[in-house]
C-alpha cells in the first residue's frame, strides 16, 4: 500500500475567521495523526478507534459552534450544511462501530473518506458560509 497523504495546512482554504480556522486546523491535525499511525503500521484497531472518537468529539464541538452562528445569521443554506455535518458524524461513528466487528473497514478506506470530506467541506461549504458572513457585516 502506498503511504497515505497528510493534509498540509496550505491545502485547506483559510477562511480568515480565526476561531473557525483554528478548529479546522484541529480537525486536520487529528486526521494527520491517523495518517501517521497507519503509515507506520502502528494502526491497531484500538488505536484507530481512539483517534476516530477524538475526531467525532472535536467535530461535534466545531459543528455546534458553526451551526449556532448559521442560525444567528439566518444562513439560507443551513439545512443542507447541517446535513453534511450529521453525515460526517454518522460515518465516523459507523466506522468506529464496524472496527470492533468481524469485518472491519480498511484503515485506508477510513483515511480516504476523512481526507476527501474535510478538504471538500472546508473548501466549498464552509467557504460559502464564510463568504455569506462577510456579506452580512
Give the integer Cα–Cα distance in Å for 101 and 49: 12
Cα distances from 10 to residues 14, 15, 21, in angstroms, run 8, 12, 12
Which CB atom, from 5 or from 22, has the smaller least distance to Fe ion? 22
Phi/psi at 110 (nearest 5 deg)? -65, -45
- Taking CB atoms, the residue at the shortest distance from Fe ion is 126
Give the integer Cα–Cα distance in Å for 57 and 130: 23
126: contact with Fe ion by CB under 5 A: yes
Q: Which stretch binds Fe ion (CB under 5 A): 34-42, 52-60, 88-96, 123-131?
A: 123-131
- What is the rounded radius of gyration, in angstroms, for the C-alpha atoms of the chain? 16
Which CB atom, from 54 or from 99, has the smaller least distance to Fe ion? 54
- Tell me how far, at minimum, the Cβ of 88 lies from Fe ion, in Å: 9
Q: Which stretch binds Fe ion (CB under 5 A): 68-76, 86-94, 111-119, 125-133?
A: 125-133
Which CB atom, from 7 or from 66, has the smaller least distance to Fe ion? 66
Contacts of 7 (CB under 8 A, 6+ apart): 28, 31, 32, 115, 118, 119
x-or-dash pattern for Fe ion, window 56-85, by CB under 5 A?
----------x-------------------
- Tell me how far, at minimum, the Cβ of 27 lies from Fe ion, in Å: 8
Is residue 30 within 8 A of residue 51, CB to CB? The reply is yes
Binding-site ranges for Fe ion (CB under 5 A): 66, 126
Amino acid at each position: 500500500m502506498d503511504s497515505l497523504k497528510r493534509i498540509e495546512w496550505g491545502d485547506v482554504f483559510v477562511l480568515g475567521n480565526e476561531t473557525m480556522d483554528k478548529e479546522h486546523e484541529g480537525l486536520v491535525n487529528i486526521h494527520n495523526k491517523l495518517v501517521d499511525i497507519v503509515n507506520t503500521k502502528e494502526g491497531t484497531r484500538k488505536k484507530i478507534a481512539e483517534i476516530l472518537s477524538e475526531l467525532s468529539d472535536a467535530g461535534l464541538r466545531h459543528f455546534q459552534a458553526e451551526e449556532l452562528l448559521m442560525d444567528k445569521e439566518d444562513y439560507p443554506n443551513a439545512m443542507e450544511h447541517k446535513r453534511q455535518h450529521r453525515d460526517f458524524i454518522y460515518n465516523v461513528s459507523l466506522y468506529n462501530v464496524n472496527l470492533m466487528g468481524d469485518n472491519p473497514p480498511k484503515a485506508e478506506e477510513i483515511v480516504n473518506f476523512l481526507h476527501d470530506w474535510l478538504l471538500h467541506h472546508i473548501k466549498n461549504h464552509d467557504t460559502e458560509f464564510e463568504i455569506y458572513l462577510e456579506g452580512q457585516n
